[in-house]
Amino acid sequence: MRLRNVTGSRDVIAASPYVIHEPELLKGKWKEHFGNDNPVRIEIGMGKGRFIMALAKENPNINYVGIEKYSTVLLRGLEKMAADPLPNLCFIRMDAEDIVDIFDKGEVDRIYLNFSDPWPKDRHAKRRLPSHQFLERYDIILQADGQIEFKTDNKDLFTFAEEEVAESKWELKAITYDLHNDPIMSVGNIMTEYEEKFSSMGNPIYKYIIKR
């Protein structure tokens, strides 16, 4: 039986053991939650979860938290997790605007942003996940040597993201304008649902890795 047929997506999420229902209670306590001292890595805007589930499966000694704003989308990740539960992965349904209420200073080791919504209107720029407003939030929760990895096929969004980095204390550690043909950065690349769709249409994939 597919979970989304059982009842409304919010009800399924409320009953799911894979979702953290009061994540603010875990602020500063994520390692206790996972029961180990392993690093905590998060994906913001995980969509249906293919990327973070593959990472969690490949790296049992790293803890992962997938964050998604919409319950109807998160539901698809829960279906996959129910079929193949992973002890080092959990999910939060929330708007990442409030991320600093969930993770303590330096509690996160790495942040993944994949095919983030472009919000093309200027007045919505602060909603873009690689915007300077979000970089300031990431600066708080990310440990000193932590990094952010961002990929997209949207040229305008990527140009915007590069400009935000140039005007900040963040530094580019690596960048490519054609990830799938980059001999170094393509190594170990895990495709997201959107990445598969847009690269199959011939779109190049842009990616940066930034640190402070």
Residues of the shown chain interacting with ligand SAM in the complex, contacts defined by CB under 6 A: 44-47, 67-70, 73, 95-97, 114-117, 192-195
Partnered with residue 48 across adjacent β-strands are: none
Q: Do 176 and 116 touch, CB atoms closer than 8 A? A: no
Which residue, 32 or 98, has its beta carbon nearer to ligand SAM?
A: 98
Distance of closest approach, residue 36 Cβ to ligand SAM, in angstroms: 26
Which residue, 1 or 107, has its beta carbon nearer to ligand SAM?
A: 107
Q: Which residues are catalytic?
A: 117
Distance of closest approach, residue 160 Cβ to ligand SAM, in angstroms: 15
Q: List the structure tokens of 170.
A: 């963040």
Beginning with the edge strand found earlier in the chain, give each strand of the sheet holding 206-211 in spatial order. 89-93, 63-68, 40-44, 108-114, 142-152, 206-211, 171-176
Which residue, 73 or 82, has its beta carbon nearer to ligand SAM?
A: 73
Listed in order, strand segments (DSSP E) in the chain are 40-44, 63-68, 89-93, 108-114, 142-152, 171-176, 206-211
Q: Which of 38, 153, 163 is nearest to 88 (CA)?
A: 38
Distance of closest approach, residue 35 Cβ to ligand SAM, in angstroms: 26
Burial of 4 (0-12, 13-18, 19+ CB in 10 A): middle
Which residue, 26 or 94, has its beta carbon nearer to ligand SAM?
A: 94
For β-strands 206-211 and 142-152, DSSP reports them as antiparallel
CA distance 206 to 177: 4
Distance of closest approach, residue 195 Cβ to ligand SAM, in angstroms: 6
Side chain identity at 199, as an amino acid letter?
A: S
Which residue, 34 or 150, has its beta carbon nearer to ligand SAM?
A: 150
